[in-house]
Every structure is written in C-alpha cells, then in structure tokens.
C-alpha cells in the first residue's frame, strides 16, 4: 500500500517542500530510501525500525520503499525520521488516521525509544511553510517551539511517536508549547570609555560603525587594537526585526534548537581556523564564521597569521556580502554581510617603529610578514589605522573618555541619514557604480584632492571608491549634506596601507 506524508527540507538557509512517499508491498523483507538522501537520512532506517518496535508497533516484514520527492534535491538532516515512520505505519495499515492530513507537515528526529528530538534548520523550513501555505500546521519537537513561534506558523509539539499516532487517531490532543520570544536587551558590559587615548583608532571605529566599513588596525602588542575591536559592537545600532530573523535563520541551520539572536553577533575565530570553518562548507555545506557574523562583526586578530587560502577566501564575502560554497553535486549560498575588524602587528616581533623597544626582525622578515596580506585583500578593507603605544600620561589621565552610548548617538544619527538618502538598510559602504556617483558627487576642490592622492600614492580605482565612501560617512557624522575638503582629507588619512607607510 502507498501513502504520502508531507514534510520539509532545507538547502543553505532556504526551505523547500518534501513528500515522504512510502510503499509497503509483498516481497523479501527490505528497507530502501531513495530520493538523493544524505548519510543521516540513510541511517534513519535503523532509528525508525527501533523506534517503531520500542513504541509498541510491530514493523512489517515486507518490502519497504521510501521516496523523498523531489528526487533531484539533496535531502539532508535527521528530521525525516518522523514522517517516514508515520508513512510506514499508515502504508501497512497499523495506523489509520482520522484527521485530515493534507494540511499537516511532520518534522523530527527519532531516538531508538521513539522520543522526538530537536533538529537543525527548523527556522528556514518553517518560514518557507508560512510563506507558501497559509493554513499549514507543523508537528515538531518541543525543543524547536521557539523557532516555530518566530516563524509565526501554526504548530503543535510532540514528545514521542506514540503521542503523534494518538493525535492522528483523535485519541489525544497535541499541545502548542508556549514560549517567550527573546526581547533584545542591552547586556553590554564593555564600553569605549575604558579605552585610554587612541583618539584616531576610536574615530575609525566610529566611522566603521556608522557606514558599515571594514577596519584594520596595525600596531605593537598591547596598544589597544583588540580592546577597540571588542567594543565596536557597543556603538552599533540594535538589530532590526528583519536582521534578527536573517541572523537567527543562519544559527538555526548551524545549531539544533537555536535561540533567537537579538544582538549583533561578534565572532572571534583563532588564526589556526581551517578554511571550511571560516568560510563554510563540508560534505553537507554548513555556514562558517563569515556567515555566523552576518549583520555583526567578524574580528580577526593577528590577521597575517591566518592561512593564505583563508585570507584570499575572504575576498568574495567582503565584495559580495555572501559566500557560495560549491561542491561536485551541489552549490549553496550563505549570507555573509559582516563588518570585518582586523588587527595586525607591524612585523613578526611586533615592535617595528616602536618608540621605546627595539625590533629584532630583519628587513626581509618584515617584508615577508607584510606580504602575507595581499593587495586585493587590503583594497577591500576600507579603514587602515596605525595604532601607537599608549603613553603613560594618557593612561593615567583623569579626563573623561567618551562612552559607547555617546558615540552610539552619533552613529545612529548618521545611519538614519543614510537610510533616508540611500534607501532602507543601504549604508555608504554598499554604494557602487552610478549610485555612488550620484550620492557622493564631489565638488571640484574635493575632486582635486582625490586626484593628487591618486597620483602621489598610486591608489587603485577601488581605493578611490573606498575613500569617497568614507568621506561620505564622515560628512554624515558631521550632519553635512555635501562632502567637504576636510572630510576627504580625513578619509585619505585612513588609507595608510595603500601608501605603504606602515
């Protein structure tokens, strides 16, 4: 006998509908799953049979064929266990549903005793369901209830296979587990007022947050590079509702039963990280650190210490705000719209040009160290900052440093100007082509400054565009409608790596 159960699948962070077609027929006892299943789906055979037996059902000693349609889409994840087990029970006549099944979608992994366990990727699947089936009801594990609540889909929760079977026979009702949607609160414990001195680096951080510009700080150990980078998110505006949903979808694919992401992500991978962990990938592609930092900050400390392939792999997400992971039989795209904050020493020992400590590196070693950062990569980083050691007079100064909230007020005001002028969510760093020329039209005297800088330092066309975008952000922070000479001069001061002076 044939029966079809509705369920869902996901690819990247996008969901799609799957039909779990089950046929139980006479023949030698066997159990085959077709429809391009991955290893986790193939292993469901043993989980499903054991779950049926330990839930009080006798698995049929017949030929069982399960087809996950559409056959051309790869099926990943363990959430097909529940629909497959229900299909087997109905196909062999053990379970006879009394409810109308056409509006129900079933998702969940089964343990060997029939318990329904949480699964990853629930949020993108339920968002797809909500967008395409207004009257659909999802039957899901208890631990995934928050993701169902976020998606605003109608849902029911089940603890085990027996509960679902009783519900289908109208012997027992499933409940809709109530849960609180996380309300973002300010849980910040770091503040810019703790950073002594480093006025230029803090100014660069403010510009970076206001225009979503990438930032690299170069200086000796202990000068405050990491301290500034770790406080960068404290001056950025809170996530919008759209950004919260985007970010939570990524974490849902990455982790089972993900909670709502209400604050901007801050990711700080170690320099020994592999290319796949940083950029995403694997046999079944999963988001990497560049995607987990989506709508937030990716902090790469000791940037030259990262592998060359990992650094060059950053070029695509920095340019396109997304990362495409290609495999022989599949291709998945993940969002990767992050603000890159990087820190680096000027040389292997860290004390090149230090006013008090002697550098022990040879000129060749210094050159090799700097060459680890390619020109195309540095071209894609907007703000370059030299960070000098903090002087004792600055460290002990009793003068009041600006707090994160004070800087944040200016940042939010600048972003509001950009939203109104550029369009909602289009920050200055996103501008390109004709739109950049229209929004960042330069007066003649400002254009002359840019021309002289290009001739003097051999700036690339991309570097010129970066300088114009930075100048536009500085003008927004000043509340000025047009870019002035002082804005462009300050913007060019943040392109020091182009001038090869550090």
Give the torsion sign (CA, 107, 108, 109, 114): negative
What percent of the chain clears pLDDT 70, i.e. is strictly above it?
95
> Which pLDDT tens digit goes with each residue over 105-138?
999 999 999 999 999 999 999 999 999 998 999 9
d(CA 70, CA 19): 7
Average pLDDT of the chain is: 91
- Note the pLDDT of residue 399: 62
- In angstroms, the Cα distances linking 286 to 106, 120, 200, 232 are 23, 11, 38, 27
Residue 502 inside a domain? The answer is: no
> Which pLDDT tens digit goes with each residue over 197-242?
888 999 999 999 999 999 999 999 988 999 999 999 999 999 998 9
Structure tokens at 469: 């975008």
> Which pLDDT tens digit goes with each residue over 257-294?
667 888 999 999 999 999 999 999 888 889 999 999 99
Same structural domain, 251 and 135: no
Same structural domain, 305 and 261: yes
Residue 498 inside a domain? The answer is: no
Which of 102, 136, 168 is where one domain is finished? 168
d(CA 254, CA 287): 6
- In angstroms, the Cα distances linking 73 to 8, 69, 107, 412 are 12, 8, 17, 43
- In angstroms, the Cα distances linking 321 to 324, 340, 418 are 10, 11, 18
Alpha helices by DSSP H, listed for 299-362, are: 308-313, 315-320
Same structural domain, 150 and 207: no
- Note the pLDDT of residue 461: 83
Total of domains in the chain: 2
Same structural domain, 274 and 209: yes
Closest CA to 330 of 391, 269, 389, 283: 283
318: domain range?
A: 192-392+402-493
For the residues 441-470, what does the mean pLDDT come to?
A: 88
Q: Is the peptide bond before 154 cis (omega within 30 degrees of 0)?
A: no
d(CA 498, CA 385): 11
SS3 assignment, position 324: strand
Same structural domain, 210 and 107: no
- Note the pLDDT of residue 13: 92
Q: Among all chains, which residue has been given the structure tokens 């008090």?
A: 356
Whether the per-residue pLDDT at 183 is higher than 80: the answer is: no
- Note the pLDDT of residue 333: 93
Same structural domain, 16 and 104: yes
Burial of 65 (0-12, 13-18, 19+ CB in 10 A): middle
> Which pLDDT tens digit goes with each residue over 308-361?
999 999 999 999 999 998 876 778 999 999 999 999 999 999 999 888 899 999
- Note the pLDDT of residue 386: 92
Same structural domain, 78 and 218: no
Same structural domain, 322 and 210: yes
d(CA 227, CA 283): 37
pTM score of the predicted model: 0.90
Longest Cα–Cα distance in the chain: 88
- Note the pLDDT of residue 51: 96
Same structural domain, 456 and 343: yes
402 CB contacts (<8 Å, ≥6 apart)? 192, 193, 202
Helix, strand and coil in the chain, % to nearest 5: 40, 20, 40
Same structural domain, 105 and 20: yes
Same structural domain, 217 and 352: yes
- Note the pLDDT of residue 261: 87
């Amino acid at each position: 006998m044939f029966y079809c159960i509705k369920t869902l699948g996901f690819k990247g962070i996008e969901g799609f509908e799957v039909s779990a077609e089950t046929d139980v027929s006479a023949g030698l006892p066997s159990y085959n799953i077709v429809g391009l299943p991955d290893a986790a789906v193939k292993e469901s055979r043993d989980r499903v049979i054991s779950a049926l037996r330990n839930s009080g059902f006798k698995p049929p000693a017949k030929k069982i064929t399960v087809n996950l349609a559409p056959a051309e889409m790869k099926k990943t994840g363990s959430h097909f266990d529940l629909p497959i087990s229900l299909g087997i029970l109905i196909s062999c006549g053990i379970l006879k549903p009394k409810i109308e099944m056409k509006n129900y979608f079933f998702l969940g992994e089964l343990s060997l005793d029939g318990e329904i366990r949480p699964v990853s990727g629930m949020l993108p699947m339920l968002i797809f369901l909500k967008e395409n089936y207004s009257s659909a009801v999802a039957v899901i594990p208890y631990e995934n209830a928050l993701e169902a609540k976020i998606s605003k889909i109608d849902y029911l929760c089940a603890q085990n296979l027996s509960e679902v079977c009783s519900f289908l026979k109208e012997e027992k009702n499933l409940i809709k587990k109530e849960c609180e949607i996380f309300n973002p609160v300010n849980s910040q414990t770091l503040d810019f007022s703790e950073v002594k001195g480093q006025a230029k680096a803090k100014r660069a951080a403010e510009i970076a947050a206001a225009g979503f510009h990438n930032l690299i700080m170069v200086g000796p150990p202990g000068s405050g590079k990491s301290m500034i980078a770790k406080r960068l998110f404290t001056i950025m505006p809170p996530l919008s509702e759209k950004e919260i949903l985007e970010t939570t979808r990524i974490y849902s694919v990455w982790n089972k039963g993900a909670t709502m992401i209400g604050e901007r992500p801050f990711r700080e991978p170690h320099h020994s990280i592999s290319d796949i962990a940083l950029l995403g990938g694997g046999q079944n592609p999963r988001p990497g650190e560049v995607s987990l930092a989506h709508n937030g900050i990716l902090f790469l400390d000791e940037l030259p210490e990262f592998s060359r392939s990992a650094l060059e792999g950053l070029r695509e997400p920095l340019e396109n705000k997304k990362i495409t992971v290609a495999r022989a039989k599949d291709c998945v795209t993940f969002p990767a719209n992050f603000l890159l904050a990087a820190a680096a020493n000027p040389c292997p020992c860290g004390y090149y040009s230090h006013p008090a400590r002697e550098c022990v590196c040879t000129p060749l070693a210094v050159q090799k160290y700097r060459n680890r950062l390619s020109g195309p990569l540095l071209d894609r980083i907007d703000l370059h900052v030299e960070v000098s050691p903090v002087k004792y007079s600055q460290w002990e100064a009793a003068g009041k440093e600006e707090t994160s909230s004070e800087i944040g007020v200016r940042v939010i005001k600048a972003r509001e100007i950009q939203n109104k002028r550029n369009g909602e969510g289009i920050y200055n760093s996103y501008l390109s082509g004709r739109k950049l020329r229209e929004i960042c039209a330069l007066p003649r005297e400002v254009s002359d400054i840019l021309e002289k800088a290009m001739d003097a330092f051999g700036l690339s066309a991309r570097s010129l565009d970066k300088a114009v975008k930075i100048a536009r952000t500085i003008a927004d922070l000043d509340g000025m409608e047009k870019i002035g000479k002082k804005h462009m001069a300050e913007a060019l001061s943040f392109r020091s790596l182009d001038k090869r002076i550090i």
